[in-house]
Amino acid sequence: MHWEAITRFVVGRTLRDAVRESRRGRGPYAIRVPRPLGEDLVPALFIVPAEPGGPPRRGFRLYEDEGGRSLLCQVTPAGPEPGAGPYRVTDPAGLELGAVHRTPAAQRLVRHGWWLERPGRPEAVAERGWARGGPGRALERGAGKLLGSVVDGLLSMGAEGDAAGGPKPVVWRSGDRFVLTFQPSQGPRWYTVDRDGALDRRLAFALAVLRESEVWGGDRR
């Protein structure tokens, strides 16, 4: 599947299936999509860390082939502290596509941990369900760093959901239109890009890789 046609994907390790048992096992991390016929997930884009074996927060590249010959985009940390963002997303020619930002800890009561900056377009952000239009606005104004860090710690342990106890989808909106959705589940962690929206798929891939790399490490913000 061509990367521009991807609308639904997960981020995770590929599994190698081979006739010889010695060649089976885990493969590289990749953007994975459903097989056209069937429920199997197949790799569509391959994630290569800037530092061999290093975490994506130190930068990574996305390739259209496992051999690393066809570069799709590069994600580079631009902040003074590793892991804090922002992360510049550039195409193979070095043209800036946008940036993935880390939400400050004190604002994570009302915003999810990552948001997108796009040149010449409104930013894409995801508000937490309990904060939309209600008391959370006041909390956002009054919450200090201490409160933010406490809530941040609770969220990192997975303490998120609505009053009914079920996790709600995370929806990134740009203006009044959704551009990217994440569906929490016990199975595959699906990301869905608005098919008719103006969000560059490469920005969606970059945000998902950075966010999911924290889940691999146990951080679910």
The pTM score is 0.79
Q: For 71-104, how does the pLDDT look when each residue is reduced to its tens digit (9 = 90+)?
A: 999 999 998 776 677 999 999 999 999 999 998 8
The answer to whether 86 touches 184, Cβ cutoff 8 Å, is no
- List the 96-102 sheet strands across, edge first: 121-124, 114-118, 96-102, 87-90, 71-77, 60-63, 41-49, 25-34, 8-16, 190-193, 177-183, 170-174
The answer to whether 32 touches 12, Cβ cutoff 8 Å, is yes
CA 210 to CA 207: how far, in whole Å?
5
CA 180 to CA 122: how far, in whole Å?
14
Question: Tell me, what's the pLDDT at 17?
Answer: 54
Q: For 7-58, how does the pLDDT look when each residue is reduced to its tens digit (9 = 90+)?
A: 999 998 876 554 454 444 466 789 999 887 766 788 999 999 998 888 899 9
